[in-house]
Structures are given as structure tokens and as C-alpha cells.
Chain A
């Protein structure tokens, strides 16, 4: 079967750095996505990786290793508004999105 694993919950301090990991086992690979979802709201697109390496976008970066079936989302200079769930999703060989259950990130002052 297809599977996306990410930690259920993480806690970090305002101003610090946090890394949210995602591992996947899917039938084929056509890209990995990270979405941010604030409580009670819809997910919003953060980043996309299809080739190995690091994609940087402001305070957020996303890394991919296809050989290891592994990605991480790195958040720097954490702000209270970064408290949210972060969803990892992989597009499989049929271009269907397989979603992880999300990582709830709690930011403490």
C-alpha cells in the first residue's frame, strides 16, 4: 500500500528553527508538496519538490531525497502565526495525491 508518515505533533519556541520530516512509500513519484493548514481553515500551498535538493522560499525551505523517500520542511525564525498543521503529500505514478495526516506545530513564546 501507499503510505506517508509524518510526526503527529511538534513543539518549538518562537524565534527558533524547526524541521518537520516526511517519509513516503508510494507507487511511483511525481512530486512532493507541503501545505500549511491553520485550525479550522483550508490548506494552503507552501512548496513543491520534484528533484532532489533544497528549495528555499523565505523563512521556509523544503528538502527532498527521492532515493530515501524522504522530505523535510524547515521553518526558520519561527513566529506565533506559524502555529498550524503542516501536510505532506506525494503525487504517485497515476498523478494522484497521497496525503499524510499532518504535523501539528505548536509555537511557544
Chain B
């Protein structure tokens, strides 16, 4: 069966520091992978998605970037964090569940920028 791992679960970072969140998927090959951000009181915001190694589509211009160095690895990065980067970050992969293309999410990473 497919599983998705995301880490770290929680982190507190100062403004201007770098960021690296990692996500890996097991049990499937060539998955579509996604990074979302969830802010309080707002819908999930798609940040990046990837359909294959080295293929990244950015949905929202900002100081974040994503990379996919391996088939089942997706990384979210920043060189210099802003206060507005605080939020709950979710990695997901797209697969078929009960006949529908469904997103399965990792456990999430809660980022607080101080």
C-alpha cells in the first residue's frame, strides 16, 4: 500500500533563515506530488505540483521553491523566510481511490516564523 511521509512535523524558525521540508512517498512510482499551505480560516492553497523528476509547476509567486530530485521525493525550500510564511504545510500525492483521483496528504509540517 502507498504511504506518504513528511517532516519535520513542527519547526520554529527566525525571519531570514532558510527552510527545507521533505516529503517522500512509498508504494507507488511516478506519482503526482503537491505542496499546499493551509492558513487559518482559508482554503488550502496550492503552492507547487510535480508530475515527474525535475518537473515543477509553481502556482503562486513567492519566496518558496520546490524540487523533485528523485521520483518519490518532493522538497519545499526557502532561502529567507518571511513572517507571512508561517502556516501549516501539507505534501500530497494524487492517486485513484474508489474510482476517483484523490489526494492523500502527509501529516503536515507546522511552521512558525518569528
Contact = CB atoms under 8 A, between A and B. Distances in A.
Interface stretch (A12-20, A40-48, A63-71, A75-83): A40-48
Contact of B105 (A43, A96, A97, A98): A43
Interface string A31-65: 10100000011111100101000000000000000
A87 B44 CA distance: 9
A23 to B, nearest CB: 14
Nearest to A98: B43
Contact of B108 (A41, A48, A100): A41
A45 B43 contact: no
A69 B9 CA distance: 37
Interface residues of B, number: 19
8 contacts: A4-B43, A43-B103, A43-B105, A44-B105, A45-B97, A45-B103, A48-B98, A100-B43
Interface string A76-109: 0000000000010100000011111110000000
A97 B103 contact: yes
B106 interface: yes
A96 B43 CA distance: 14
A101 B104 contact: no
Nearest to A4: B43
B46 interface: yes
Interface of A: 4, 8, 31, 33, 40-45, 48, 50, 87, 89, 96-102
A102 B107 contact: no
B29 to A, nearest CB: 21
A100 B38 CA distance: 11
A41 B98 CA distance: 23
B43 A31 contact: no
Contacts of A8: 41
